[in-house]
Amino acid sequence: MKQAISTKSAPAAIGPYSQAVKAGNLVFLSGQLGINPETGEFAANNVSEQAEQAFKNIGAVLTEAGLGFDNIVKTTVFLINMDDFAALNAVYAQYFHQPYPARSAVAVKTLPKGGLVEVEVIAAS
C-alpha cells in the first residue's frame, strides 16, 4: 500500500507525480530542484544556492513525512555540469553526517525549467 506525501513548503509537482510516496517503511522523494516554493523561481543562478534550496525543499517534504535528514539512506544527484561537483559537495556536507547515505551523481544534458542541480532521496522510517 502506498501513500502520497505533499507539502506547500516545497514546490508543487510540475507534472503527474507526487512530491513523495511512502511504501512500507520507505519514503521515496521525487527530485527537488532549487526552486523557492514561495516565488516559483530558482533561488539563484548558481549551483551552490540551487543545491541549498533543493535541500531545504527535501527537508520540508521529509518533515511532512515525520522524518529528517538522518533517515535518508540513498541520494541521487543530477548535475548539468560535473565541474560543479565540488560546489555541490560543499552544500551536501552541511546536511549529512556519518554514516553517510549511499549516493549516485550523474551528469545530465538538461534539467526541468533549466535547473543546474536536482536531488532525489530515499528515506527509511
The strand pair at 102-107 and 117-124 is best described as unpaired
Indicate whether 1 pLDDT > 90: no
pTM: 0.97
**Which class would CATH give 2-124?**
alpha beta
Indicate whether 14 pLDDT > 90: no
The string of pLDDT tens digits covering residues 29-80 is 999 999 999 999 999 999 999 999 999 999 999 999 999 999 999 999 999 9
Indicate whether 97 pLDDT > 90: yes
